[in-house]
Structure 1
Amino acid sequence: MTIGLKASETDASYGLAEDLVSEVAVLIVGYRNSQDIVDCLLALSRATASPAFDIFICENGGDDAYHRLVDALISKGGPCLRGQSPGIAIDCNTNRFTDVERLVLRARSSNVWVACASDNLGYAGGINAWLRPLSAIPTWQAIWILNPDTQPTESALAALHQRAESGRKAMVGSTILDSLDADHVRFRGGLSWQKLAARDVAIGLGDLLNVSCNIAAIEDAMDSPSGASMYVTRWCIERIGMMDESYFLFYEDMDWGLRARHLGLGYAADSIVVHKRGTTTGSARGSSAIPVLSVYLQHRNCVRFVRRHFPWSVPLRIAVSLLYALRFLLQGAPNNSRAAIEGLVAGLRGEIGRPKERMAQ
């Protein structure tokens, strides 16, 4: 079964049919952050033998960034070696990549497919650009979406796989930490949507890592796995479809998780993933240093999200965005205060997709 595709869209398989994909396809979307991806793949190289996986990277940052990424991956001390060239020519009329190179991990037999996006496709677009050709390959049973600035521990994937299988879960989230030696948790599984506050909150934020937790209660509270680490089964994708690319960046993972909630969301406590947070979007920095584009898209897309899932709470979301704008102003970040308001207005007007004028600025 293909995943929401026309028959003609499955023709360009990038040589994948000749090298059947392993049980799990690891998907990573990068944007000019090659060192983050190198570190991520070095961590993946140490993963347990089962389940087997192959890696699929979409570089959204253009040709130069793509070539820098490939060079970094195969450099001395890098995680990869060059693999055999794809056996099938890429038809650029039926896909969204201008170039694809096949590498292999030095430490194991996993293939690493690195693709150059024809344009900045956004987060969901980068994921979907690989899901389309993958849908024609029958061997994989799940995808694992990782932020490029993550470093999973050795058993992180195995724990996700086990929870999905044992609990018949559609999506599964990890324990997210800010650093490997952190004593406190950043996420337990993922996010919960506060309806009366019209905002999402991280489940388990600030919990002591080594304190036992109620897995069932966490799974009951989850509305989406954290986008830093999302394990998604094939049968789930076949039922709910791909990510919504209209968000471009921010809230597409929350939207996808909420669409899958009725199928079952899971939490694998032993799946430990370190997330540096914000090396691509800048979202982990102080108020005045957060890029205005990130602020703009967060507030624009949240309006779209609540309109789709909780339309009665749009007035609440307007108030929340205005409060954020006031806080930015009081913290000495007037540009971000303005971006929050402009994003709010754009969301109310129904703007979707890549904000080309703002990105040009």
Structure 2
Amino acid sequence: MAEGERITTPLISLITINYKQAQVTCDMLESTKVLTYPRFEVIVVDNGSNDDIADRIQQGNYPNVKLVVSPENLGFSGGNNLGIRHAQGDYFFLLNNDTIVTPNLLDQLMIPFAQYPDVGVVCPKIRYHSQPNVIQYAGYRPLNIYKGQTWAIGLKEPDEGQHDQPGPTWFAHGAAMLVSRAVLEQAGSLDESFFLYYEELDWSARIRKAGFQIYYQPDALIYHRESMSVGKASAMKVYYHTRNRLWFMRRNVSGFPLLIFYLYYFCMALPKALVKYTVSWQPTYLKAVKDAITWNLTHTTKPTAAVPMPVAMAGN
């Protein structure tokens, strides 16, 4: 790379988390070898795995990969925040380890930042790895403040170009989001109290409150092997979905809308889930719900602490 190109091309720090999935992580790393963007580094955060990820990275010949080892599982938020602390980029690409990238991904994700000064986050179109022409994410619809729900646009639709219009969207998708350094400096980082699930929705809400746009870029594409980390159904997933839906609403909605949400959730949504887990007799799921409610009763909301930002590399 010429020196002039190095100076004018922003450095992207690609950050991914490994949790007992060394082969899955290396599949993603292998796919990054086709990326055409000229300046990026890769930070792999090993989240208390105790697996052979270090040996696999060395054997896989990934020269621009830096491994950061945490002795404990810090969750999605904590793991990404740890990666950010070790990254030197102008932009931070938080990418699930269970994804496969496409060659011009980073090039396309950078375009909206150059076009619109208020863009703070850009997300690609996401398709399912197991169904390569089926959409998982093409932006998000607005939050229903009375039910605490939002839906990904295009979810489970065959991709026939119907969602190929780029533009602002309400929420980023946690599987893949390119974030500017300015967002981290002004809106803070991921809130580690979530640990798993809803953290990107909470972060998106804070990012938009700080005056940034979240942008959907359909010309950028990744493939997602969904729910590889905790499985498609598990007591852990039930616990964090239940806990963090309430936690997210408590942090981001107030007054009459929050009251309506409580009535809806505790009189309709929660009883429905309890009946389902009782009829199918899943006691671990019932305990997960109880523990999630108890956690909310014993925790109060507080401001999000920012992650200390690394100093950008000279010449960026």
- TM class by shorter chain equals 0.7 to 0.9
**Per-residue CA shift, 1:290-334, capped at 9, x if unaligned?**
221221111111111100101313333334233233333445534
The more displaced of 185-194 and 270-279 is 185-194
CA change 1:52–1:192 in 2 (3 A) is farther
1: CA distance, partners of 2:27 / 2:93: 17
CA change 1:349–1:209 in 2 (3 A) is same
The more displaced of 192-201 and 143-152 is 192-201
With the length of structure 2 as denominator, give the TM-score of the two structures: 0.82
Shift of 1:344: 2.6
2:239 aligned partner: 296
1: CA distance, partners of 2:124 / 2:224: 11
Is the 1:39–1:151 Cα contact (8 Å) retained in structure 2? yes
Q: Which of 152, 170, 181 is residue 223 of structure 1 equivalent to?
A: 170
Shift of 1:71: 1.1
1:269 aligned partner: 218
- Structure 1 spans left out of the alignment, 5+ residues: 1-20, 81-103, 105-110, 285-289, 353-361
Is the 1:56–1:130 Cα contact (8 Å) retained in structure 2? yes
The alignment partner of 2:20 has SS state of coil
2: CA distance, partners of 1:240 / 1:322: 36
Q: What does residue range 19-168 of structure 1 map to in structure 2 within 5 Å?
A: 23-48=11-36, 50-62=37-49, 64-65=50-51, 68-75=52-59, 78-80=60-62, 104=63, 111-134=64-87, 137=88, 140-168=89-117
- Structure 2 spans left out of the alignment, 5+ residues: 1-8, 302-316
2: CA distance, partners of 1:51 / 1:40: 18
2: CA distance, partners of 1:295 / 1:143: 29
Q: Which of 144, 169, 182 is residue 132 of structure 2 equivalent to?
A: 182
2: CA distance, partners of 1:61 / 1:37: 14
With the length of structure 1 as denominator, give the TM-score of the two structures: 0.72
Q: Residue 101 of structure 2 aligns to which amino acid in structure 1?
A: P
Determine if the alignment matches structure 1 residue 171 to structure 2 residue 118.
no
Shift of 1:184: 2.1
Higher RCO structure, 1 or 2 (CA under 8 Å, sep 6+): 2
2:310 aligned partner: none
2: CA distance, partners of 1:183 / 1:246: 35
**Per-residue CA shift, 1:325-359, capped at 9, x if unaligned?**
3333445534324422431332233289xxxxxxx
CA change 1:71–1:338 in 2 (3 A) is same
Please give the root-mean-square deviation of Cα atoms over the aligned residues, in Å: 2.3
Q: Residue 345 of structure 1 aligns to which amino acid in structure 2?
A: T
Q: Residue 298 of structure 2 aligns to which amino acid in structure 1?
A: R
2: CA distance, partners of 1:208 / 1:324: 30
Is the 1:173–1:190 Cα contact (8 Å) retained in structure 2? no
Percent sequence identity over aligned pairs:
23
CA change 1:326–1:203 in 2 (3 A) is farther
CA change 1:79–1:205 in 2 (3 A) is farther
Shift of 1:272: 1.0
1: CA distance, partners of 2:249 / 2:86: 31
CA change 1:293–1:316 in 2 (3 A) is same
**Per-residue CA shift, 1:61-81, capped at 9, x if unaligned?**
24x32xx00112233xx252x
Shift of 1:123: 1.2
Q: Residue 182 of structure 1 aligns to which amino acid in structure 2?
A: P
1:200 aligned partner: 150
1:307 aligned partner: 250
